[in-house]
Amino acid sequence: MGRIQQWLNRCFALINNKTKHSNGQQAETFAAQYLQRQGLKLLDQNYNTKLGEIDLIMRDGQCLVFIEVKFRARSDWAHAAETVTLSKQQKIIRTAQLYLQNKQLSDRVYCRFDVVAIDNEINEENLNWLKNAFC
């Protein structure tokens, strides 16, 4: 493979990566707005630690909800919800424990873990909100 072809491949990979990131951000924003219309209150978005990231942290009444948002432009290989693997769930749980510890809420709040899965297009018709998706 020539140098020009390698350079083009790197450029296309960067463009593709930015598009994926942009779609992911759009899906997270859309999910947050949808959940707010359902009565949840947004507390934090893209909570990052060395252990992992939680896309959305919201309050549903007295319950603190940690939410993983998954978007898949194509669901022929797997649906968005199916891509939240056991290892991903464990990362989210550990990150949530750290969040609770940092906010000094460990023993004082009920929590749940939800997944918002969006397949094909970012719209309500393709949104699947899975409450208590894992624990």
Domain boundaries, the chain: 3-134
pLDDT tens digit sequence for 92-119: 999 999 999 999 987 789 999 999 999 9
Average pLDDT, the chain: 88
| Percent of the chain surpassing pLDDT 70 | 84
Amino acid at site 6: Q
Least confident window among 11-15, 25-29, 130-134: 11-15
Confidence of residue 2 (pLDDT cuts 50, 70, 90): low
Does position 10 have pLDDT exceeding 90, yes or no?
A: no
Fold of the domain built from segment(s) 3-134: Trna Endonuclease; Chain: A, domain 1 (3.40.1350)
Helix ranges (DSSP H) in 1-135:
3-37, 86-102
Q: Report the alpha-carbon distance of residue 35 to residue 130 in Å, rounded.
A: 12
Cβ atoms of 81 and 131 within 8 Å: the answer is no
Strand pairing partners for 101? none
Residue 62 structure tokens: 């007295």
State the pLDDT at residue 4: 64
Rounded to two decimals, what is the model's pTM?
A: 0.83
Asked if pLDDT for residue 43 goes beyond 90, the answer is yes
- pLDDT at res. 19: 47
